Structure 1
Amino acid sequence: MLTISADAVDQALTFPGLVETLRAAFREGAVQPVRHHHEVERPDGATSTLLLMPAWTDFHAAGTSAGGHIGVKIVTVSPDNNAIGKPAVMGLYLLLNGATGEPEALIDGQRLTQWRTACASALAAHYLAREDASRLLVVGAGALSPFLAKAHSAVRPIKTIRIWNRTPANAEKVAADLRAEGFAAEAASDLDAELGQADIVSSATITTMPLVKGALLKPGAHVDLVGGFTPTMRESDDDAITRARIYVDTRAGATKEAGDIVQPLASGVLIPEAIVADLHELARGEKQGRQGPGEITLFKSVGAALEDLAAGIAVYNALKP
């Protein structure tokens, strides 16, 4: 069994390559039960979240019982980790042989999640963002933010990147790291002003108070919501929902777990029929993406086990002896 570090994951993947891998995965499908979501109450009064995300090759759809893979990601989310200088999200990915169940690889789950999450957003942007989108706003300066900047830049001609965070120093650090890699990135101080200028808004926070204000979005903008993964978290307001055509990564996950979808559905601001498509339907050509240059689109991602499985297989295939 291979043990694959974060650095090895970086060596195994490219943003354009993983976007195409995910496109094929959503087109072909896999068996992916809705993830297990558990709240862990700790003695100090804080709460962590334990996520278990299994998936396996759809042998029936593939027409064969040979080969294939089984995978499961184990993730913990502890928001207060930031106070002690540790990432909020920790995780491991276990990849198994689909025929025998033999463990094939244990992969750094944090890095795999960063790659697949960013590339799923970029895949959605391929269908939903304007082809000439050049100004990107990243809301949040966590570990995922540089991956989102690079992934969106891989599918659209991004010329300007702005990073906004409640703590300006954190935004500047992300921007400086991106500049060191050749991206035109700067920290932003005025979120509302940036919302009015951005062609793509990519938000990755765990806020419960919406930061993305729909009234400020310019015609033709694309909104990519990544961070809120529980019904109580919400990154966009009702105006963003009512002004945009709505897309999700998976209907089952988004309508159950994503506050940006669950809350508007509960209040009647959004009806289920107004969710235009998920990534399966877009990748298979069953539904269309952007309909015109002035349209506002909104994509909500909560993460799908299929993405981890596809990315994990790609990493394993690139590194196995």
Structure 2
Amino acid sequence: MDQNDLTIIDAAEVRRRLDYPSCIDAMREAMRALSAGTTRQLLRTMIPLGEARTFAQMPGALGTHDMFGAKLVSVFGDLAAPGRRRHRGVIVLFEPDQGKPVAIVDAEEVTHIRTAAATAMATDALAREDASTLLIVGTGGQARTHLEALPQVRPFRRILIWGRDPAKAAALASDYSCIEAQAVEDLPEAVAEADVVCTLTAASQPVLRGEWVRPGTHVNLVGSSGPGPVECDHEMVVRARYIADSRASALDAAAEFLDARAAGLLGDDHIVGEIGEVLLGTVAGRTSADDVTLYKSLGHAVQDLAAAAHLYRSLKT
């Protein structure tokens, strides 16, 4: 293959070109297509490489005659220290006519942006139109991208930020003073005031409790992407109108749902539907102003491929 045929899109180029409005649109189309069955993906597979070290593969195709490829990621949790990156990887993109690879894209930067864009897409579909207070639970990189993405879909008047380290929450709020962000220390009180709650943590035990959430709230569970770590308690899952990004993936890896099911509190039918079905109009998202809606984000190959394909095409036009 001629080396000139292969486009390399590094992290800096991803940040320059993958804007939130277009990425949110790409996530809408990807999730509609996933639920309609026009895209294909396999559940992610993980190969253990020792203590706290994993190699993950996420293959998929955007359509029979569209881009296809895979996201390949290493997760080295033992490098979790200041200045050390835990996640590294690439998205390999193939074109559909000759089946040749056409792009290699930095996966870490795409994941940061497309995860927040997918949350914004789901929030737009499920949150009340009059939602005015957003609560971000967490202070890491995903908190920053969600602070960029979510105001794209609702004109929040107040944004609250909570973290285990109050100093980090205060520093993050000061970085986003232009959107009236405010650090808070009383999490139950902040949850009770919020119209939209996003959990973006590495918590192994619940940080969000269902009893704190008032009627009409929309909740995004984003931090846990596999069995084990949970961000909310059983009550939160049981009382919510539960929408998955993918039903198959939720039944395989949505830790909060799987824990509640194992406790005998609900069955598989508690998953109302997929966000793509809500977008297609085949499943109702919110049925009343008082519904507590919950979107479980696990992340998918088709999301990464849709973002990478958008980037590739933007470079070629």
TM > 0.5 fold call: yes
Deviates more, 1:215-224 or 1:261-270: 261-270
**Counterpart mapping for 1:223-238 below 5 A:** 223-238=219-234
Alignment pair present for 1:54 and 2:59? yes
Give me the whole-angstrom Cα distance separating, in 2, the residues matched to 1:177 and 1:293: 33
Deviation at 1:225, TM superposition (A): 0.4
Q: Which ranges of structure 1 fall in alignment gaps of 5 or more residues?
A: 60-64
- Give the match's secondary structure for 2:74: strand
Decide which of 142, 145, 150 is 2:143's aligned counterpart.
145
Deviation at 1:316, TM superposition (A): 0.8
- Give the match's secondary structure for 1:312: helix
Q: Flag the 1:90–1:175 CA change in 2: closer, same or farther, 3 A.
A: farther
Deviation at 1:242, TM superposition (A): 1.9
- Answer yes or no: is the 8 Å Cα contact 2:238–2:260 preserved in 1: no
- Give the match's secondary structure for 1:37: strand
Q: Flag the 1:168–1:79 CA change in 2: closer, same or farther, 3 A.
A: farther
Deviation at 1:79, TM superposition (A): 3.2
- Answer yes or no: is the 8 Å Cα contact 2:62–2:306 preserved in 1: no
Deviation at 1:7, TM superposition (A): 2.5
Give me the whole-angstrom Cα distance separating, in 2, the residues matched to 1:148 and 1:125: 11
Deviation at 1:12, TM superposition (A): 1.6
Give me the whole-angstrom Cα distance separating, in 2, the residues matched to 1:77 and 1:258: 19
Runs of 4+ in structure 1 deviating by more than 3 angstroms, as ranges, are none
Deviates more, 1:164-173 or 1:291-300: 164-173
Across the two proteins, how many residue pairs are aligned to each other?
A: 308
Give me the whole-angstrom Cα distance separating, in 1, the residues matched to 2:113 and 2:60: 18
* Other-structure match for 1:25: 30
- Answer yes or no: is the 8 Å Cα contact 1:75–1:91 preserved in 2: yes
Deviates more, 1:267-276 or 1:228-237: 267-276
Deviation at 1:28, TM superposition (A): 2.5
- Answer yes or no: is the 8 Å Cα contact 2:30–2:62 preserved in 1: no
Query: 1:117 is matched by which residue type in structure 2?
Result: T
Give me the whole-angstrom Cα distance separating, in 2, the residues matched to 1:71 and 1:280: 21
Decide which of 3, 8, 12 is 2:13's aligned counterpart.
8
Give me the whole-angstrom Cα distance separating, in 2, the residues matched to 1:174 and 1:49: 30
Alignment root-mean-square deviation, CA: 1.6
- Answer yes or no: is the 8 Å Cα contact 1:248–1:301 preserved in 2: yes
Give me the whole-angstrom Cα distance separating, in 2, the residues matched to 1:177 and 1:88: 24
- Answer yes or no: is the 8 Å Cα contact 1:16–1:155 preserved in 2: no
Deviates more, 1:252-261 or 1:186-195: 186-195
Give me the whole-angstrom Cα distance separating, in 1, the residues matched to 2:164 and 2:78: 15
Deviation at 1:159, TM superposition (A): 1.7
- Give the match's secondary structure for 1:269: coil
* Other-structure match for 2:314: 318
**Counterpart mapping for 1:68-107 below 5 A:** 68-107=66-105
Report the TM-score, using the length of structure 1 for normalisation. Answer: 0.91
Deviation at 1:223, TM superposition (A): 0.7
Query: 1:316 is matched by which residue type in structure 2?
Result: Y
Give me the whole-angstrom Cα distance separating, in 2, the residues matched to 1:71 and 1:161: 37
Give me the whole-angstrom Cα distance separating, in 1, the residues matched to 2:69 and 2:44: 12
* Other-structure match for 1:216: 212
Give me the whole-angstrom Cα distance separating, in 2, the residues matched to 1:18 and 1:271: 34
Give me the whole-angstrom Cα distance separating, in 1, the residues matched to 2:205 and 2:27: 31
Give me the whole-angstrom Cα distance separating, in 1, the residues matched to 2:85 and 2:176: 19
* Other-structure match for 1:271: 267
Query: 1:225 is matched by which residue type in structure 2?
Result: L
Decide which of 46, 63, 69 is 1:37's aligned counterpart.
46
* Other-structure match for 2:3: none
Give me the whole-angstrom Cα distance separating, in 2, the residues matched to 1:28 and 1:242: 28
- Answer yes or no: is the 8 Å Cα contact 1:2–1:320 preserved in 2: no
Query: 1:72 is matched by which residue type in structure 2?
Result: A
* Other-structure match for 2:200: 204
- Give the match's secondary structure for 1:277: strand
